[in-house]
Amino acid sequence: MIDAQAVGKIIEKYDQSKLSIGTLGSHSSLNIFKGAKEEGFRTVCICKEKDAIMYQKYPLVDELIIVKDFTELLSEQLQDRLRKLNVVLIPHGSFTAYLSTEQLTDSLKVPMLGNRQLLHWEANRKSQEEWLRQAGLRLPATFKSPDDIDCLVIAKLQGAKGGRGYFLANTPKGFYKKAEEMMKRGLVTKQDIETVHLQEYALGVNVYPSYFSSILNNDVELLAMDRRYESAVDSIGKIPAQQQLEIDVAPTYTVVGNFPIVLRESLLPEIMRMGENVHKKAEELAPPGIIGPFCLETVITDDLKIYCFEISARIVAGTNVGIGTSPYAYLRYGENMYMGRRIAMELKEAVKQKRLHEVVA
């Protein structure tokens, strides 16, 4: 485990007047790099050859490091190069998609914005639920056994990405029938079904509020809000019910893009309190709590109840809808504020106040 002391030692050797902001070339990298440039940082991008075109078309990167695979981030040689460039890494979705929690906490010896301890709370579905529940959020009910199903549930597979293989069921009988079908079609394995996580299906619309937890200001800011554009669920309604039944579509949730959302104002106080409470709970579980961006995945029902089913304690791609500006960032900062820039601002301020060690781990 890389602890605060180890990171502190690396930071001590850094030339903080030449700090660079670095990340993997995908997910929300353009958001992060644009923000870094606007705050006067040098930028370092670890990128696959095929994606380099993004940084030619949008020249936001000072140092482009081409790798075959993102796992090269674990190589001592690359890490040494990053440290020599005084890099602070900004973790995003591709970090957790390509590297394991253990690799991130034990083998990545480059300072990262955020709290590495929280990765363990986030990675495990049970502990994540514990965290959110203890923070007082409303979570969809969970069911221990398929035999207990007494309402519409979503069956989630362990470690599935983008909801692949998830399915819905209404009764125990319906569950076993669907599971059998899915296994026959090779969409899920027997083991998937044995370890399936059954969650009450919250019927409503998806809303993803993004916050920034500032350790320097001791404040949680609401900065952005989006919803996802998911294939195939968002396209099922385009074909008539008759054909839906005939082709037996499975509702997958592969994210293709995001839309900005402006929420009914009466919902904002609760959304704000949820962010505050999640951070407060994290302060207890893994001090000093969340550092920097985080996002809650919620569903809001027609009686205006907000259900939270997941947290990401890092920048999410949904904040890309705010590059330039968004209503919520505008309300707080005026024009030209967005998550990538807010991150850079915090790092700049941390250097100025000689508190960089407090915002990296």
Ligand X SMILES: Nc1ncnc2c1ncn2[C@@H]1O[C@H](COP(=O)(O)OP(=O)(O)OP(=O)(O)O)[C@@H](O)[C@H]1O
Nearer to Mg ion, 51 or 310 (CB): 310
Q: Are 341 and 246 in contact (CB under 8 A)?
A: no
Q: Which stretch binds Mg ion (CB under 5 A): 199-207, 274-282, 306-314, 343-351?
A: 306-314
* Binding-site member from 310, 325, 333, 351 for Mg ion (CB under 5 A): 310
Q: How far is the CB of 132 from ligand X (least distance, A)?
A: 12
Instruction: Report the residue closest to ligand X, judged by CB.
Output: 163
Closest-CA residue to 215 (of 40, 36, 350, 110): 350
Q: How far is the CB of 267 from Mg ion (least distance, A)?
A: 20
With binding defined as CB under 6 A, does residue 253 bind ligand X? yes
Among positive and negative, which fits the CA dihedral 203, 205, 210, 213? negative
Interface with ligand X: number of residues (CB under 6 A): 18
Q: Give the one entry of ligand X, Mg ion, none that residue 320 binds, where binding means its C-beta sits below a cut-off of 5 to 8 angstroms depending on kind.
A: none
Give CA–CA dist 224/269, Å, rounded.
15
Nearer to Mg ion, 176 or 253 (CB): 253
With binding defined as CB under 6 A, does residue 202 bind ligand X? yes
Q: Give the one entry of ligand X, Mg ion, none that residue 216 binds, where binding means its C-beta sits below a cut-off of 5 to 8 angstroms depending on kind.
A: none
Tell me how far the alpha carbon of residue 203 is from its chain's centroid: 22
Give CA–CA dist 183/167, Å, rounded.
12
Q: How far is the CB of 140 from ligand X (least distance, A)?
A: 4
With binding defined as CB under 6 A, does residue 163 bind ligand X? yes
* Binding-site member from 310, 325, 348, 351 for ligand X (CB under 6 A): 310
Helix (H, G, I), strand (E, B) or coil at 225: strand
With binding defined as CB under 6 A, does residue 309 bind ligand X? yes
Structural tokens at position 43: 């930028």
With binding defined as CB under 6 A, does residue 154 bind ligand X? yes
Positions of E strands within 116-174: 142-143, 153-156, 167-169
Nearer to ligand X, 305 or 355 (CB): 305
Nearer to Mg ion, 34 or 314 (CB): 314
How many Cβ atoms are within 10 Å of 113's Cβ, its own excluded?
Answer: 24
Closest-CA residue to 300 (of 268, 276, 327, 273): 268
Terminal Cα-to-Cα distance of the chain (whole angstroms): 11
Give CA–CA dist 103/319, Å, rounded.
26
Residues with Cβ within 8 Å of 235's Cβ and at least 6 positions away in sequence, in order, are: none
Alpha helices in 26-161 (DSSP H): 29-38, 53-57, 76-84, 93-98, 101-106, 118-123, 125-134
φ, ψ at 163 (rounded to 5°): 70, 20
Q: How far is the CB of 43 from ligand X (least distance, A)?
A: 26
Binding string to ligand X for residues 121 to 150, with x set by CB under 6 A, is what? -------------------x----------
Give CA–CA dist 228/233, Å, rounded.
11
Q: Which stretch binds ligand X (CB under 6 A): 169-177, 180-188, 200-208, 339-347?
A: 200-208
Nearer to ligand X, 2 or 225 (CB): 225
* Binding-site member from 54, 67, 160, 236 for ligand X (CB under 6 A): 160
Binding string to ligand X for residues 216 to 235, with x set by CB under 6 A, is what? ------------x-------
Structural tokens at position 243: 């054909």
In this structure, what DSSP letter does residue 176 have? H
Nearer to ligand X, 152 or 183 (CB): 152
Q: How far is the CB of 309 from Mg ion (least distance, A)?
A: 7
Residues forming the site for ligand X (CB under 6 A): 140, 154, 156, 160-163, 199, 201-202, 206, 228, 253, 255, 297, 299, 309-310
Residues forming the site for Mg ion (CB under 5 A): 310
